[in-house]
Amino acid sequence: MSGLMLHAGAQRVGRQNLLSLPTPEPTDTHKPIAHSRVIAGIIEALAYRRINVVRDEYGVSPDGMRMFGFLELDIEREGLRLGIACRNANDKAFALGLVAGYRTFICDNLAFRGDFQAITRKHSKTLERELQDVLAVGVDRGQRQFEPMLAQVDAWRNHQLADLQAKAIIYDAFVREQVDAPKHLMRDVDSLYFEPQYHEFRPRTLYSMQNAFTSAFQKLDPIPMYRATTSAGEYFTAIQ
């Protein structure tokens, strides 16, 4: 459940295309920052720490004022890869933002989430000259948080579930509405957990249960999928 999704009018572009996008003239209170400069700053901060980008994708609004990006990094362990999602708006729609984690999601409908929020800064007078330092701090924060994130995943992988407990988790999520997801997906989650499609998710663990939920959510449209995924993350974090 990581990556860039566009369905609210934005167009997918390559990194080089960001260079040709216009940047508005600054005012006394608002200092627009070129989208290409934001991405270049992130990549520079990563390179300084010997972190490479293995995949990246970008979207921009029709007027070029809003940019949404996702960068997948070469930090990986046991099939989980760290990613960074970022966004920048030169029309004051939202602040410069950066989130990191093994579950990062960004959409042009302004859905924006990650396991860790690294940056949120308005386009102030000082941001333009402090941009590289701000981005470097954000990258550092994301990198430091990756180990705790993986430790949490290991705990979920080692959390064995009895079948009755697994059924109770599914029941509470849908019947007691602990997860913001359509009730008709309850049957899909049950099937994906008790009859997994992949060997990795055959163990009866909390990690396998989460995969059953997120796999079922892929049938949803972007906004409902975002709500369901976010609420499910909160639900599973509370399960001990």
* Span 86-112, pLDDT tens digits: 899 998 888 888 888 776 656 655 555
pLDDT of 106 reads: 62
pLDDT of 44 reads: 93
Total-model pTM: 0.73
Sequence-distant (≥ 6) Cβ neighbours of residue 96 within 8 angstroms: 33, 38, 86, 87, 88, 89, 119, 120, 121, 122, 123, 127, 134
pLDDT of 58 reads: 93
Please report how the helices 206-217 and 222-238 are oriented relative to each other, as an axis angle in degrees rounded to 10: 170
Interatomic CA distance for residues 60 and 34, integer angstroms: 12
pLDDT of 85 reads: 87
Give the end-to-end CA distance of the chain in Å, rounded to a whole number. 23
Cβ neighbours of 62 (radius 10 Å) = 9
Interatomic CA distance for residues 27 and 232, integer angstroms: 42
Cβ neighbours of 58 (radius 10 Å) = 23
Q: Which of 12, 214, 219, 14 is nearest to 106 (CA)?
A: 12
pLDDT of 213 reads: 92
pLDDT of 79 reads: 67
pLDDT of 2 reads: 60
Six-digit token pair at 151? 């430790």
pLDDT of 219 reads: 86
pLDDT of 184 reads: 95
Cβ neighbours of 129 (radius 10 Å) = 9
Interatomic CA distance for residues 1 and 105, integer angstroms: 7
Sequence-distant (≥ 6) Cβ neighbours of residue 168 within 8 angstroms: none
pLDDT of 194 reads: 96
List the strands of the sheet with 116-121, edge to edge. 11-13, 53-60, 66-77, 80-89, 96-101, 116-121
Regions of the chain with pLDDT less than 70: 1-2, 77-79, 103-116, 240
